[in-house]
Structure 1
Amino acid sequence: MNQGINTTQPLSILYQDTDLVAINKPHGLLVHRSFIASDASEFAVQLLRDQLGQRVYPVHRLDRKTAGVLLFALSESMNSLMQQQFMEGAVHKTYLAIVRGHTPDEQAIDYPLRRDDGIVQDAFTQLKTLQRTEIPLPFGKHTTSRYSLVELTPTTGRMHQLRKHMAHILHPIIGDRPHGCNKQNKLFKDHFGMNTMLLHAQQIKFTHPVTSEPVTITAPWQAEFGRMLGVLFGEEEQKIN
């Protein structure tokens, strides 16, 4: 079952013009068919194609369990132009994540990542802490549990970069498998009934290839992310949104 997906409702469109369209991808929805996720039967590409009645081209990717801004081109030529911007680092992306522990106010994470084929690539992420919380929930030898809401800005686009970088600095994203903390993931499932990954692609900024105008697309968080913000941070959620 793809948690967070309501296939009776159309995909939420955040932006659309004659060249591009962006959706707020739910947690659990694959961008396209993948041999590593044979259990999935629905995909963002096909759902959006059917919803718009025309072919769409994903110009970037989000992990299955990551929600938020997902951008598509409406032609092969626009797809090529947008992918060029991504390769040149001209697209600015911002994510929100709920992670284990209290993170520093700011941190630059400069940690190369190894691909499955063994090639090592530079990877850089800027972290900014938005909120911290400590709740009366025992965990291990501790009588309380600490969490942080962080803003993550990657300047490279490596596979699972944010997930791996947060694990590297010992503040894994809640709900992340396999890079996160399985004990924390079990705690959230058992105590809160939460079984997704708390990573949200909040915003994307770029220059429109046709109009040369700046474009900013922002996605409100999905219901489960919002619920956990309320559970962990209480009234602070309203100040963040």
Structure 2
Amino acid sequence: MMENSATGVLWPEQKLEILYQDEALVAVNKPSGLLVHRSLIDKHETQFAMQMVRDQIGQYVYPLHRLDRPTSGVLLMALSSEVARLISQQFEARTLQKSYLAIVRGHLTGEGLIDYPLVEQLDKIADKKANQHQPAKAAQTQYQCLAQSEIDAEINRYPTSRFSLLKLLPKHGRKHQIRRHLAHLRHPIIYDVNYGDNKYNKYFKNLNQATRLALHAHKLELTHPVSGQPLKLKAALDESFKQLLTMTKLTFNEERV
């Protein structure tokens, strides 16, 4: 195993878990803390999901979508430029369905739609030539509460602390959309260092130094670009996410999702 110095998260040095592979596509379960591809910001990093998958299967891969570095879960890649084009069309038409799991602060009950436009967050290095004054763009995320809990810990100003496990279906793909939407509702994701609650982040880091963002890309459903058949990909929760479930006393029922 190899440790990422920035996050303390461990992942296999040589191999990633392959969820699906055929002549057109390959999907892996990306660990939290692993970059999808090289970044101008993280020049010191030497391991990237795309490179690892390429070396693992002995074939060049084409990226189809992104997962934030601290987010784990289903990462899909094409094995040809033509397949990449066909899948990109599905992303643009929003005919793919991405499903995430997140642990958030507080009790967010029931289900609903977060309809909150977001201003695109530009990277200071990679997007320095882009228009820096863009209007907010449509962004919608469906949510469903799967479980709730309360622990005897005074993290903020209350004697106990509450948590919810959510299923999230983003309708758009804005940068950090789920994280920003949940922060907007004042139910930030646990250990979100960008949009979360610093007191909660500190509490969980003190409990476990390997604490990671409690966001997991659980499922990806699409139409296979060659066969035309429905394709459902699912990534199991890793140990670091399971540890957060244990620390928050949340129960995950796989049958409900």
* TM-score bracket for this pair, using the shorter chain length: over 0.9
225-234 vs 104-113, which deviates more? 225-234
TM-score by length of 2: 0.89
Hey, what does 2:93 align to over in structure 1? Answer: 88
1:186-225 matched pairs, under 5 angstroms: 186-225=202-241
Could you tell me which of 171, 180, 192 is aligned with 2:187?
171
For residues 23 and 186 of structure 1, the distance between their equivalents in structure 2, rounded to whole angstroms, comes to 31
For residues 19 and 220 of structure 2, the distance between their equivalents in structure 1, rounded to whole angstroms, comes to 11
Poorly superposed stretches of 4+, deviation over 6 Å:
none
For residues 185 and 143 of structure 2, the distance between their equivalents in structure 1, rounded to whole angstroms, comes to 11
RMSD, aligned CA: 1.4
Q: Work out the number of aligned pairs and report it.
A: 239
Hey, what does 2:248 align to over in structure 1? Answer: 232
Q: Say whether the 8 Å CA contact 1:5–1:29 is kept in structure 2.
A: no
Instruction: Indicate whether 1:49 and 2:54 are aligned.
Output: yes
What is the aligned-residue identity percentage? 45
Q: Say whether the 8 Å CA contact 2:100–2:219 is kept in structure 1.
A: yes
Instruction: Indicate whether 1:124 and 2:140 are aligned.
Output: yes
**Residue 72 of structure 1, CA deviation:** 0.3
Unmatched 5+ stretches in structure 2: 123-131
Q: Say whether the 8 Å CA contact 1:138–1:144 is kept in structure 2.
A: yes
Hey, what does 2:70 align to over in structure 1? Answer: 65
For residues 139 and 185 of structure 1, the distance between their equivalents in structure 2, rounded to whole angstroms, comes to 10
For residues 202 and 186 of structure 2, the distance between their equivalents in structure 1, rounded to whole angstroms, comes to 17
Q: Say whether the 8 Å CA contact 1:96–1:199 is kept in structure 2.
A: yes
**Residue 9 of structure 1, CA deviation:** 4.7
Hey, what does 2:150 align to over in structure 1? Answer: 134
Instruction: Indicate whether 1:97 and 2:102 are aligned.
Output: yes
For residues 3 and 95 of structure 1, the distance between their equivalents in structure 2, rounded to whole angstroms, comes to 23
Unmatched 5+ stretches in structure 1: none
SS in 2 for 1:174: coil
Instruction: Indicate whether 1:112 and 2:117 are aligned.
Output: yes
Q: Say whether the 8 Å CA contact 1:188–1:194 is kept in structure 2.
A: no
Hey, what does 1:152 align to over in structure 2? Answer: 168
When residues 87 and 3 of structure 1 are mapped into structure 2, their CA distance, relative to the original with a 3 A threshold, is: farther
**Residue 38 of structure 1, CA deviation:** 2.5
SS in 2 for 1:121: coil
Could you tell me which of 3, 11, 17 is aligned with 1:12?
17
201-210 vs 38-47, which deviates more? 38-47
Query: Which residue identity is paired with 2:60?
Result: R
For residues 180 and 33 of structure 2, the distance between their equivalents in structure 1, rounded to whole angstroms, comes to 19
For residues 229 and 96 of structure 1, the distance between their equivalents in structure 2, rounded to whole angstroms, comes to 11
